[in-house]
């Protein structure tokens, strides 16, 4: 996941800034980076009905006090100084749920697992609000790094990040598949410093990915443990929806299904769920305004 993404709709502009960084200062810098996009430089923000700032505010990474200060900074400095008449903030799991088409306003439980590049956000949503949530620093980047580390340890071969991602997409999996293939990997031999090619199996890459996959499974289980009993029955019937690029890892849905005993569904447009959810908040603003966080400029 990039630090800044932009989405345009007919009724406004959505600017997404990732604020999940080490400490408040880095978070603020990420937000400023998002606001310093070509959209603002081209003055396209002028006349926009609403400006939506999305921050990733997982409670396991940033304390609640820090989140409050980041929100205040966004609302009173970044957004308003950029020319917005009013600034709204949405939590990423909520945006993912909206993008996945979940009935967030209904008095029933909905669970979303958004696996991005740097983090995994797990949340139970009901009546337009997040009932319980958990954020961990495990995502697509950690999966890639796990492959790099494993190949280095087992074969003394150094891989690049792009190669690791290609291997993950080609034969990576979280559970045994019916038709598994091998793959050829090219890297640099750590002993000789020369290029070297090896053949790895899907089972080997699955073993390499096991630690971060276990962390994602544990996060899902921990969130389920904290879910109120009255919503647990809804989740048993509705299941868990996976979004984000990490949701596309082969066999992850089956792994979670077997580990939790819950129905698991991968969103139709999993990769773009957060972006689509933010766009819907602009296009259907009146219907979705209640899920947004807004305070007047101080």
pLDDT, one tens digit per residue, over 87-105 is 777 888 999 999 999 999 9
pLDDT score of 64: 41
Q: In terms of pTM, does the model score above 0.85?
A: no
Residue 45 pLDDT > 60: no
Q: What is the mean pLDDT of residues 137-163?
A: 96
Q: What is the mean pLDDT of residues 229-241?
A: 94
In our burial notation (b when 16+ CB lie closer than 10 A, e otherwise), range 119-152 reads bbbbbbbbeeebbbbbbbebbbbbbbebbbebbe
- If you search the block for the tokens 């259907």, which residue do you land on? 284
- CATH H superfamily, domain 102-266: ATPase, nucleotide binding domain (3.30.420.40)
pLDDT, one tens digit per residue, over 274-287 is 989 988 888 888 88
Q: What is the distance between the alpha carbons of residues 226 and 240, in angstroms, rounded to a whole number?
A: 15
Q: What is the distance between the alpha carbons of residues 202 and 200, in angstroms, rounded to a whole number?
A: 7
């Amino acid at each position: 996941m990039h630090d800044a993404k932009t989405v345009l709709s007919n009724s406004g502009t959505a600017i997404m800034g990732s604020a999940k960084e080490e400490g408040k200062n880095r978070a603020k810098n990420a937000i400023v980076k998002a606001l310093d996009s070509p959209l603002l430089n081209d003055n396209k923000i002028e006349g926009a009905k609403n400006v939506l700032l999305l921050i990733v505010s997982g409670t396991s990474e940033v304390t609640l006090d820090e989140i409050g200060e980041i929100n205040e900074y966004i609302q009173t400095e970044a957004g308003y100084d950029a020319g917005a008449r009013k600034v709204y903030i949405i939590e990423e799991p909520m945006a993912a749920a909206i993008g996945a088409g979940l009935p967030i306003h209904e008095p029933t439980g909905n669970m979303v697992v958004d696996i991005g590049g740097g983090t995994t956000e797990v949340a139970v949503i009901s009546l337009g609000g997040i009932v319980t949530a958990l954020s961990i620093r495990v995502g697509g980047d950690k999966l890639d790094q796990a492959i790099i580390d494993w190949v280095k340890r087992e074969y003394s071969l150094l891989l690049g990040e792009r190669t690791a991602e290609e291997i993950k997409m080609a034969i990576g999996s979280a559970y045994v598949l019916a038709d598994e293939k091998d793959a050829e990997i090219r890297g640099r031999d750590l002993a000789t410093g020369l290029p070297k090619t090896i053949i790895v199996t899907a089972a080997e890459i699955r073993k390499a990915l096991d630690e971060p996959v276990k962390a994602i499974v544990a996060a899902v289980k921990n969130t389920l443990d904290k879910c109120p009993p009255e919503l647990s029955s809804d989740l048993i019937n509705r299941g868990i929806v996976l979004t984000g690029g990490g949701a596309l890892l082969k066999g992850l849905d089956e792994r979670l299904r077997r580990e939790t005993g819950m129905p698991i569904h991968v969103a139709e447009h999993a990769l773009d769920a957060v972006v689509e959810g933010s766009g819907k908040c602009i296009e259907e603003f009146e219907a979705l305004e209640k899920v947004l966080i807004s305070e007047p400029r101080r």
